[in-house]
Amino acid sequence: AQSVTQLGSHVSVSEGALVLLRCNYSSSVPPYLFWYVQYPNQGLQLLLKYTSAATLVKGINGFEAEFKKSETSFHLTKPSAHMSDAAEYFCAVTNRREYGNKLVFGAGTILRVKS
């Protein structure tokens, strides 16, 4: 069975500070990993994905994540937070299947950006 643990249900940073959102996964086979962002009353937007190519993955809006197999981690970072980054972030894992990919999400981390 696969699972994702997001450390910290709430993270608060100042505008311009480093953003670090933590994600650890558990998977018996090589995983596919994703980060999604959700703004209030909206759907999920894909930030970035890891699918066994480069371990450092760059996404949209200046976000990136590094896959570390030895630590079973896939933490999300952004060098400088903007007010518009305030949202909820979900880490998710799946194993690719020919009949469809079941995403298993972490509990989510709400990011607050202080001015």
Q: Which residues bind other proteins (CB under 8 A)?
A: 32, 34, 36, 41-46, 49, 51-52, 90, 94, 96, 98-103, 105-108
- Exposed (0-12), middle (13-18) or buried (19+): which is 89, by Cβ within 10 Å? buried
**Residue (70 or 98) nearer to other proteins, CB:** 98
d(CA 68, CA 47): 18
Give, in order, the Cα–Cα distances in Å from 108 to each of 23, 53, 97, 105: 10, 25, 24, 8
- Among 22, 13, 4, CA closest to 77: 22
**Residue (73 or 94) nearer to other proteins, CB:** 94
Quote the least distance from Cβ 98 to other proteins, whole Å.
6
Quote the least distance from Cβ 72 to other proteins, whole Å.
19
Quote the least distance from Cβ 111 to other proteins, whole Å.
15
**Residue (17 or 108) nearer to other proteins, CB:** 108
**Residue (80 or 101) nearer to other proteins, CB:** 101
Quote the least distance from Cβ 96 to other proteins, whole Å.
5
d(CA 61, CA 78): 9
How far is the first Cα of the chain from the last one, in angstroms, to the nearest whole number?
Answer: 41
